[in-house]
Amino acid sequence: MKTKRDFLRIWDLSSKEITFLIERAIELKSGIDANKCPLIGKSIGLLFEKASTRTRVSMEVAIYQLGAQSIYMSQKEMQIGRGETIHDTAKVLSRYLDAVVIRTFSHMNLIEFASHSSIPVINGLSDIHHPCQALADLMTILEKKGHLKSIRLAYLGDGNNVANSLIEAASVMGMDLSIACPKGCEPNPDVFKKANSFKKSRITILKDPGEATHKADAVYTDVWVSMGQEKDAPRKKRKFKNYQLNADLLSNAKKDAIVLHCMPAHRGEEITDDVIDGPQSVVFDQAENRLHIQKALLEFFLT
């Protein structure tokens, strides 16, 4: 029997495994094995605390196309929302399902669930990590640039879960990453410190977005205010006003630089319409790639 593994953060995979997953996702995107259903007869739960468009739809479609069935479970509709323990929920769902994808506020709750689960647990998003998104980002960069090693990636904005996962991805795959954010909005310090110990890439945290984007191959941004942080919106918007990805800031990057955004985008805040809809934008290819990378991921963990 295959040993149970979880995917809670990028560092749960080796560089070799990430390369395999990206190559497999590109194969699946091309239509290879379109009629094969390697997960037929399996049931995969989607346990979501947070609202979702891309994660839910891409996961449900991926599961269907692989021949399995998805079961969407909102916390509001589950007993866990009425006080049942994570321990009990994990134990019970392990008896019914073959894997579970969790989209949650607390990464610690995700770790606790995985520790009591006998089936694979996949992080669909937590407050510290967004690993499925980072895999799709790597896939998109490879498609557009032809390689990952020594790519110069600039990230502008809040040091959130997306930034943390990009740091882990860069450290494993040998990309150089510059993160520009105001003081007090830096990524997780433990992630940053450990990533730099890998010595495969150069990861820096800067205050100046112009310096971060200088001669970048790819420029990435995300919303300034994540779900659950709405009360801090006015303060954050003031702090981030100089970090907007607009045409002037993009001009610091290479002429053939690509623009990335994990979406949803707050147009006119962290990114302007002319940039997200411009010729350098690959954000909709990036969104599509969530589907293909998750098919590869589910196949990898469940076959």
C-alpha 4/C-alpha 270 separation (Å) is 39
Q: How far apart are the C-alpha atoms of 44 and 70, rounded to whole Å?
A: 5
The residues, any chain, with a CB within 8 Å of residue 30's CB and separated by 6 or more, are none
Number of neighbours of residue 179 by Cβ within 10 angstroms: 27
Say whether the peptide bond before residue 234 is cis (omega within 30 degrees of 0): no
Q: What is the DSSP string of 251-275?
A: TTS-TT-EEEE-S---BTTTB-HHH
Rounded Cα–Cα distance for residues 137 and 151 (Å): 13
Query: Quick one: tokens of 227?
Result: 């779900």
Q: Are strands 69-74 and 152-156 parallel, antiparallel or unpaired?
A: unpaired
Q: What one-letter code names the amino acid at 146?
A: G
The CA distance from 217 to 176, in Å, is: 10
CA distance 255 to 187: 28
Q: How many CA atoms lie within 13 A of 106 on its CB side?
A: 7
Sorted by sequence, the CB contacts under 8 Å of residue 23 that are 6+ apart come out as none
Active-site residue list: 103, 130, 133, 222, 262, 290
Look at the block and give the residue holding tokens 């479970």: 73
